[in-house]
Amino acid sequence: MASSSPQQKLVRWFQSHGGSINPSIKLVVDEESGQHFRASQELSISPKSEVEVCNCPFSLTLSSLNLLSKPPKGIESRSNRSVCSNLIGKIAEPAVNYFFLAEQRLLGSESFWEPYISALPKEDALDTPLWFGPEDLKWLLGTTIHSSNIDPSKSGVELRRGMWVDQWKDGIKVLQDCGQETKQFTWELYLWAATIFTSRSFTSSILISPEYERSESFSLLYPVLDSFNHKFGAKVTWNMDHGNFALRLTEPVKVGVEVFNNYAPKGNQELLVGYGFCTPNNPCDEVAIRLGRPPQAVHTALQEKFPARFRSTVWDPDDATFYLRASQHYTSGYTSQYQDLPGLPTLSCLRGLPAEFYGTIHMILSFAFAAQGGIAEEELQHAAIGAILERLTDKRDGIMVWNEHLPPKPMNKRQEYAKMYRDGQLEIMHEIIGELESYLNDLEY
């Protein structure tokens, strides 16, 4: 008799502990899509109705809640059985989750979640940039993920690696101070657990009732339900009831077609860094650009003009990160923002730039010119557009300079996704640069 596949074992475990899966869909796995669901029978859904395809009980979730001595109703406490309970309150919340998942994998068949963990992708199947080899990373050189213009340790991929290494070391020290053996918690195992959590988890702020909330949101793994791949535009609804999570479809699915979830709009940078894949011709794709800290007087003025963005009295790099869009973006750009914010020009060349991004550059230059005696508003506007053009041109050229160092074509899936992300970044910048250049060129005639 043939042995059961990991997916079959997972489904049996899931259903035997209260989980439900629509009989018209089947959990399968292949090289292209990984573990996912496909319709084994047609899912017919009438207009304005919905069909539940999966329901995961709160009791099956895996998170640091399981390490509490008095967890929320429905969660079984494992604080007396896990060395990771020593980590609660002593290291970063996400790191507690990662150590706990790593511990459960080490337990093998002794873990309650063994059927779930056995079906998760292992190290050789993970494709986020932290798993890239040197040849794979070449395709990211010059991009925000792996910039070549700054200290390599400060590139997006290395900042994340550094943060996780620090968390891992913090956790190891806490466990050692408690007299626990730690050699089994290797860096590679921790990296695997961190990748699983960041690519498959759901946030507590969305899924759990207020009575379960802490001061800050945290992440939970919902077994089986996390096997629905993401597709922007997939028509689904999420129903949360005391931590129980039901996924429902509001559109029909034909036999043999993959059944998707929708995790909100995500550009290819977010998809690649967080999930290890990219979407061709992604209608949500964007280019991230971050501004450095200006003088305090400028920051104060920005807080007054854009209070919704610059909320902190301390310069926050996240507040100063803006996302540029091509005309093919599902929003077409930011034209409406310029109409909604007073005092900003409504020029077609600014379509792809967030209004607050243009406004920030404008503010920085206005202070700089004021120190030199001032400048007319029209000239200031042109100077701001010119400064943005220069910044984007440098960013684009910082990627293109590596063209001659790349092989003729990608040699594996990681490189294919990296090229897809890279090409998308260049296409967005090419279009916006062209729009800005056209505007400035017209001024000369």
Q: pLDDT by residue (tens digit) across 203-240?
A: 988 766 665 556 678 999 999 999 999 999 999 999 99
Distances (CA, A) of 162 to 176, 191, 303, 323: 21, 11, 31, 24
What is the CATH superfamily name and number for domain 6-59+222-264? SET domain (2.170.270.10)
pLDDT at 209: 63
Distance CA 136, CA 276 (A): 12
The better pLDDT of the pair 23, 213 is held by 23
Angle value at C-alpha 281, between 48 and 38, nearest 5 degrees: 50
The pLDDT tens digits of the residues spanning 51-100 come to 999 999 999 999 999 999 999 999 999 999 999 999 999 999 999 999 99
pLDDT at 215: 61
Distances (CA, A) of 122 to 12, 125, 195, 320: 21, 6, 10, 36
Q: What is the pLDDT of residue 1?
A: 46
Sequence-distant (≥ 6) Cβ neighbours of residue 186 within 8 angstroms: none
Between the alpha carbon of residue 372 and those of residues 91, 240, 369, the distances in Å are: 50, 58, 5
- For residues 199 and 275, the answer to whether their CB atoms sit within 8 Å is yes
**H-helix or E-strand containing 220?**
strand 219-220
pTM: 0.92
Identity at 191, one-letter amino acid code: L
Whole-number pLDDT of residue 375: 87
Question: Where exactly are the structural domains of the chain?
Answer: 6-59+222-264, 62-220, 287-443
Q: Where are the alpha helices (DSSP H) in 4-139?
A: 6-16, 93-107, 114-119, 134-137
User: Is residue 243 within 8 Å of residue 204, measured between CB atoms?
Assistant: no
Rounded percentage of the chain residues whose pLDDT exceeds 70 = 96
User: Tokens at residue 437, please?
Assistant: 């250049």
**Contacts of residue 308, Cβ cutoff 8 Å, sequence gap at least 6:** none
Q: Where residue 153 falls among pLDDT bands split at 50, 70, 90?
A: low
In the predicted structure, residue 155 carries a pLDDT above the cut 80 = no
Q: Which residues have CB under 8 Å from 440's CB, separation 6+? A: 382, 385, 386, 389
**Predicted pLDDT at 374:** 82
Q: Of 379, 351, 349, which is closest to residue 365 (Cα–Cα)?
A: 379
How high is the pLDDT of residue 212? 58
Determine the 3-state secondary structure of 203 from DSSP: strand
Average per-residue pLDDT for the chain: 94
Identify the weakest region by mean pLDDT among 209-218, 252-261, 306-315, 392-401. Answer: 209-218
Is 405 in contact with 137 (CB distance < 8 Å)? no
Residue with tokens 């061709």: 280
User: In angstroms, rounded to a whole number, what is the distance separating the alpha carbons of residues 209 and 283?
Assistant: 33
Query: Which phi and psi angles does 219 have, rounded to 5°?
Result: -110, 150
The average pLDDT across 22-48 equals 94
* Residue 253, both tokens: 């699915």
